Amino acid sequence: MKAILSVSDRRGLVDLARGLTGLGVDLYATGGTRAHVQAAGLAVTAVDALTGFPEILEGRVKTLHPAVYGGLLARRDQPEHLAQLEAHGLPLIDLVVANLYPFRETIAQPGVRLPDALEQIDVGGVSLLRAAAKNFADVLVLCDPDDYAPVLAEWQQAGAVGPATRRRLAARAFQQVAAYDTAIATYLREPGELFPATATLGLQKVQDLRYGENPHQAAALYRMDGQQPGTLAGAAHQLQGKELSYNNLLDADGVLALVREFATPTVAIVKHSNPCGAASRDDLREAFDLALAGDPVSAFGGIVGINRPVSGALAQALAAIFFEVVVAPAFTPEALTILGGKKNLRLLAVPMAEPPVPDTFGPALSFRTVDGGLLVQAPDHGPGDEQVPMHPQTTRHPVLGEIADLLFAWRVCRHVKSNAIVLAKDRAAIGIGGGQPSRVDSVKIAVQKAGWRATGSVLASDAFFPFPDGVEEAARAGVAAIIQPGGSLNDAKVIAAAEAAGLAMVFTGQRHFRH
């Protein structure tokens, strides 16, 4: 039996080569791979001996030769194939061990130039994997070092590698090639080509989950290829606690997106994909208390997000309440000691990096599944406070303190399921209503949550008021100012209702639906 070895990732290669030699396999390898195996004292022959042709073009052409691909692609159940190999003096090849040049790692380096990236596009390795995988019934293909030991064990114990394992390894090889080509296509696309006619995503499994939204649903977390410095899938590190669930991850992603909206220290609490509390303060302990006060009943069992490291003082407050997950950029040693007493509480350290602006099809876009497909869009990243347009529509304009609260509420509102209403006072959410088919019902819920605190508060609405009733409901509760996109056919009536109540109302001209 003959094997061709040509790898970039040499993890476990020597142990594999030693095992194959023990099974009576003759090893052939390309330049660097051969040197690595020889250095371990194992017998290995240059691929040149098969092809009768030297490596050329600085190693760009090594295995692309009929002597290699004839031996890989010949079907053992076709006598004419075997006769042709014999006529040309070509041997059968029974095993390929190959993985690919580090293209992803190269393009992840800052300042990488196009010529450097192009040099890391593997041609021969991809061809070896495809040929071997196509003929997997007769040719074994190994592209992942993690497969070496179990495949060797099966071979040694059973005397052969079975059909099921061969097929699984072939699928793995084709998937590796597909993901590799996806990374190349994504890199080479012109900036601005967000929605190409055909597109693929490279996904790497991070972990299996206990179950999905409900116990009868299987689930897993995948990471998209590409730089993701501030994402749960790409950068989160779990410091303690139970295994993360599907719902935990959805809520943690939501609270992370909310708190990183703010440059100032901010704490937010999310429950069932909706914020139920948020506050900004220089003192994080005070911010937490205010966020919790926004809706303490809903906060029970929720997910907390913090855009600053967690101190011991804040940890004491967190430990007093039942939460499922706390997400923050870091935790002090004192905080870890305090929260370590709550063994089931998951602590996630995630850098608070700015989300990337999408310039081509890839992980910076937003994806939602529909039956049989994907909806893809640019994410709803809001502008900085100084860039939010605030066009006064009423005689009374908002005063300075109201402006700060309007901007705070506007940021939080973008993360509430539509129809979204947020009441805020002193840069803290005091009442949130969302996910209702009727906007006025969302206002009623937010007002009910706020109670007496609604007097003198401000209100943010993610989309226009279709009728004056929502404004009238807010006015009865004592709301002093409203920020909304405008654009309703009934804007004049809505503005008139605000005027009649003495409210200040501003339009932004931009809605923020979150379905």
Amino acid 148: pLDDT: 95
Which residue ranges make up each domain of the chain? Answer: 2-188, 229-349, 389-507
- Give 482's contacts (C-beta < 8 A, 6+ positions apart): 458, 459, 460, 461, 471, 474, 498, 503, 504, 505, 506
109 confidence band (pLDDT: 50, 70, 90): confident
Distance CA(214)–CA(103), nearest Å, equals 38
Rg (C-alpha) for the chain, rounded Å, is 30
Amino acid 385: pLDDT: 59
**Mean of the pLDDT values across residues 258-275?**
95
Q: What positions carry a catalytic annotation?
A: 134, 272
Q: Is the pLDDT of residue 302 over 90?
A: yes
Amino acid 387: pLDDT: 82
Average pLDDT, the chain: 92
Over residues 373-418, the pLDDT tens digits come to: 999 998 888 666 568 889 999 999 999 999 999 999 999 999 999 9
Amino acid 227: pLDDT: 65
Range of weakest confidence among 208-217, 274-283, 317-326, 374-383 = 374-383
Over residues 117-130, the pLDDT tens digits come to: 999 998 889 999 99
Over residues 52-95, the pLDDT tens digits come to: 777 777 777 777 788 888 889 888 888 888 888 888 888 999 99
Whether residue 37 contacts residue 44, with contact meaning beta carbons closer than 8 Å, is answered with yes
Our measurement of the distance from residue 147's CA atom to the centroid of its chain's CA atoms, rounded to an integer in Å, reads: 26
One-letter amino acid at 103 equals F
Domain 229-349 CATH (choose: 3.40.140.20, 1.10.10.10, 1.10.3470.10, 3.90.550.10): 3.40.140.20
234 confidence band (pLDDT: 50, 70, 90): confident
Over residues 39-49, the pLDDT tens digits come to: 999 999 988 88
Whether residue 434 contacts residue 420, with contact meaning beta carbons closer than 8 Å, is answered with yes
- Give 109's contacts (C-beta < 8 A, 6+ positions apart): none
Question: In a 3-state reduction of DSSP, which class is residue 275?
Answer: strand
For the domain spanning 389-507, the CATH number is 3.40.140.20
Number of residues written out for the chain: 515
Question: In a 3-state reduction of DSSP, which class is residue 346?
Answer: strand
CB atoms within 10 A of CB 496: 14
Amino acid 282: pLDDT: 95
**Mean of the pLDDT values across residues 193-213?**
90
Amino acid 50: pLDDT: 83
Range of weakest confidence among 112-116, 167-171, 464-468 = 112-116
Percent of the chain residues topping a pLDDT of 90 = 76
* Opening angle at CA 269, ends 264 and 273, nearest 5: 120
Peptide bond into 419 cis (omega under 30): yes
**CATH superfamily, with its number, for domain 2-188:** Methylglyoxal synthase-like domain (3.40.50.1380)
Distance CA(47)–CA(49), nearest Å, equals 5
Amino acid 406: pLDDT: 97
389-507 matches 229-349 in CATH topology: yes
Amino acid 381: pLDDT: 80
Amino acid 293: pLDDT: 96
Percent of the chain residues topping a pLDDT of 70 = 99
In the structure encoding, which two tokens stand for residue 465, read together? Answer: 């008021």
307 confidence band (pLDDT: 50, 70, 90): very high
* Beta-bridge mates of residue 268: 278, 305
Distance CA(473)–CA(410), nearest Å, equals 19
